[in-house]
Amino acid sequence: MTVPVGLRITLAGYDPDLLHIIANRWDIDLPEKGSTRELANALAAGMLDSSRAGDMWARLSDSERGALQTLIGSGGRMAAPKFHRLFGRIRQMGPARREREKPYLNPISTSESLFYKGLIATAFDETETGAGEFVYIPSDLLDALPTTADFREEAYAGEPVAPPKDVVAADDSAVDDMTTLLAYCRVYDVPGGVSLPGEHEAALRPYLLNRDPIRLAMLTALGHEMGLLEPDDSGHLRPVPDRARTWLDASRTAQLRALTSAWLESATWNDLRHVPGLVCEPTGWVNDPLAARSAILSFVELVEPGKWWSLDSLIEAIKAEEPDFQRPGGDYDSWYIRREGADEYLRGFESWDAVEGELIRFVITGPMHWLGMVDLGADGSAFRLTEIGLAALELAPWEETPESPVGPVVHPDGLVEVPREASRYDRFQLARVTEWLPVEPGRPYRYRLSALGMERAAGQGVRSAHIISFLRRVTGDRVPHGIRAAIERWEQFGPEVSLERMVILRVRTPQMMQAMLDVPDVRQYLGARLGPLAIEVRADKVGELADALRAMGYFPLESAGR
């Protein structure tokens, strides 16, 4: 770190003229002669006197104290572009120009006034994104000032709002949809990657409780983050057996806690790049999703639990107090972001609401709501932290919710109904050997024991005896006799019965049937006789058969359902 942190080091970098100007602001008498180091040491000794520092603090204007409090709230330093945008710029001057313009008597900004009082300084610091200028308060001077309170405790000055008329309550369905995702990746060959290919996303969607594609993308990313999903040797995305089993076997509370922790700590799931309506062009710029998320949540943590809060007011508070929460250098020009369907890029601080504002809105109404952390007003204008949200943000302990799992129910026709309260591990195992039916609101999960499921089980090396043993365990040994027999017969004999769709040619007399069989151009499209007046037709040749019949002198009446 190259930023000077001590007052003596800071002052030693100034010319004697500037040191005398600062001393006059503090009513400190400096010797007329002496080296720069000697003058800096003498001035620092006076400024670090707590009584004199208190007097200086008392003489500051409200705007000067507010600027210092903002800087204190940022740990005593802030990127110069941000500070200058909030409190004005500091003109760079040498002794001659200072003598002519006397900026210490006529400062153009709060920043410049504080600079000539020696309360702030600027320097360059090397960061991950390169060298950047910072404004800082020398660390020992910071300790001498009469207040070091965290200004952000006062940052969100909004008032609670009236409860919305219609509420979209948060839930823990992310646990259920993660279970379904793991089962899907176990059953189907999904190419490995941090997101699902479009065709798999579309195929999985009917079986989810929440079909928002962004939420599914988030769950897929968190599956990677938690080590639940990894590519296998063939490159297909699969559940990692030990880790997936541990998570699936855990309580619902523990599962949700793992999901929220993964999102809170994720550096790979990038909230900004999933904000609806925004397109982030891959042109080399990078952002830090973890830092941005943490900054947003640090403001959310300040709201009073149990109360409803205006989302717009929260966004305005962050804009006023920490607008550069995701851009440490205050750079609003090098990120290539545009609105969906538009060609113009959103650049400059004037685009803050369209980018940063929408990111804040998305984080709260998207991931936080999806993970059960906040309830929302139906119109999206208000939010309220839930017990899950308070626990996830470490504002309250996690309370383990008692579970009374109920098992699946197997019906005589092979339909299996699985309540949401059932063990997620059991549902995962059932999904491996059954045909899936789409989720319907308010109804249990539905699966069907069928030939398709038996083939799927065989492909995974699951024996019929294992399926029967599993079904007996999870149903309390209530498996219909016919279903048990069908499972056993399948392994022994394979498919014994088939149901097929058939096209039938019917005629008025047996003589007509024989006449048609005598014509090779007609007979080639016919199959097995079904009686004197009916015969099977090759389903893929109905059109050709109709043409041949017309050539014989018959107009065939075709079923409207064909």
The Cα–Cα gap between 303 and 301 comes to 6
Q: What count of other Cβ atoms lies within 10 Å of the Cβ of residue 31?
A: 8
DSSP, collapsed to helix, strand or coil, labels residue 397 as: coil
pLDDT digits (tens, 9 = 90+) for 506-536: 998 999 999 999 999 999 999 889 899 999 9
Span 41-57, average pLDDT? 91
- Interhelix angle 510-517/542-552, rounded to 10 degrees, is 110
CB–CB of 10/43 below 8 Å?
no
Rounded to two decimals, the pTM is 0.68
The per-residue pLDDT for 151 is 39
372: alpha, beta or left? (left if phi > 0; alpha if psi -120 to 50): left
The beta strands (E) that lie in 154-193 are given as 167-168
- Locate 195 and state its tokens: 């997101």
The per-residue pLDDT for 128 is 40
Task: Write the DSSP symbol of residue 396.
Answer: S
Q: In what order do the strands lie in the sheet with 121-127?
A: 77-79, 130-136, 121-127
Residue for token pair 């409200």: 62
- What contacts 24+ positions apart, CB below 8 Å, involve 62-67? 63/87, 63/110, 64/110, 64/113, 64/114, 64/119, 67/110, 67/111, 67/114
The Cα–Cα gap between 42 and 7 comes to 11
pLDDT at 484 over 70: yes
pLDDT at 147 over 70: no
- Locate 74 and state its tokens: 């940022």
pLDDT digits (tens, 9 = 90+) for 295-324: 899 889 888 888 999 999 999 989 988 888
Q: What count of other Cβ atoms lies within 10 Å of the Cβ of residue 199?
A: 9
The Cα–Cα gap between 103 and 546 comes to 99
Lowest mean pLDDT among 210-219, 538-547, 553-562: 553-562
The Cα–Cα gap between 452 and 313 comes to 54
Per-chain mean pLDDT for the chain: 88
pLDDT digits (tens, 9 = 90+) for 266-301: 988 999 999 999 999 988 888 989 888 988 998 898
The per-residue pLDDT for 498 is 53
Greater pLDDT, 366 or 467: 366
pLDDT at 375 over 60: yes
Chain centroid to CA 374? 14
pLDDT digits (tens, 9 = 90+) for 434-461: 999 999 988 999 999 888 888 888 777 7
- Distance (Å) of CA 200 to CA 64, 126, 190, 448, 502: 57, 44, 7, 21, 32
pLDDT digits (tens, 9 = 90+) for 157-191: 467 899 999 999 999 999 999 999 999 999 999 99
The Cα–Cα gap between 174 and 259 comes to 8
The Cα–Cα gap between 145 and 157 comes to 24
The per-residue pLDDT for 113 is 93
Closest by alpha carbon to 127, among 297, 241, 259, 291? Answer: 291
Span 540-545, average pLDDT? 87
DSSP, collapsed to helix, strand or coil, labels residue 238 as: strand
pLDDT at 394 over 60: yes
Q: Pairing between strand 337-339 and 382-385?
A: unpaired
CB–CB of 314/299 below 8 Å?
yes
